[in-house]
Amino acid sequence: MAVRNEDDVSTLELVRELLRDVVTLMRQETALARAEFREEIGQAVVALTVFGAAAATLGLAGLWMLVGLTRGIAYLFNWPLPAVYLAVGAALGIAGAVLFAIAWHQLHTLEMLPKTRETLRERTWFGSRRVKESV
């Protein structure tokens, strides 16, 4: 007959403590992930705001450069200013249309999450096949 000590803990109590520790650990990890996610979202918002301000500033700089270029062409070739503005605008419009067409084509040929879609198809096919075979 085995003698039980008061310090002995049953297996059931050990498993309970282990599960309690695992649950506590999972809660702590979830809280940490949430905090990190919030921090990263905040940093992303700041970065996107600065990026937007930089893009706007660069756009204005480009606009002023185009005005200077247009006026320079008009002065250099002694052409009427409205005609040069029209020519530069048309050239920029054509370049923009070509870039838009390229971007549109790339967006239409883009396949989002190809590996994930294939995995879902395989799993769906496998699951539906198993259901049909069991019926």
Distance CA 74, CA 5 (A): 102
C-alpha dihedral sign at 53, 56, 60, 61: positive
Q: What distances in angstroms separate CA 54 from CA 41, 43, 102, one per listed residue?
A: 20, 16, 24
Task: Give the global pTM.
Answer: 0.52
Element of type H or E holding 112: none
- Confidence band, pLDDT 50/70/90 cuts, at residue 28: very high
Q: Is 79 left (phi over 0), alpha (psi -120 to 50) or beta?
A: beta
* CA 1 from centroid of its chain's CA atoms: 66
**pLDDT tens-digit profile of 55-113?**
999 999 999 999 999 999 999 999 999 999 999 999 999 999 999 999 999 988 888 77
pLDDT of residue 1: 47
Q: How many CB atoms lie within 10 A of CB 88?
A: 16
Q: Which of 88, 57, 59 is nearest to 73 (CA)?
A: 88
Domain parsing of the chain, residue ranges: 10-78, 80-135
- Confidence band, pLDDT 50/70/90 cuts, at residue 135: low
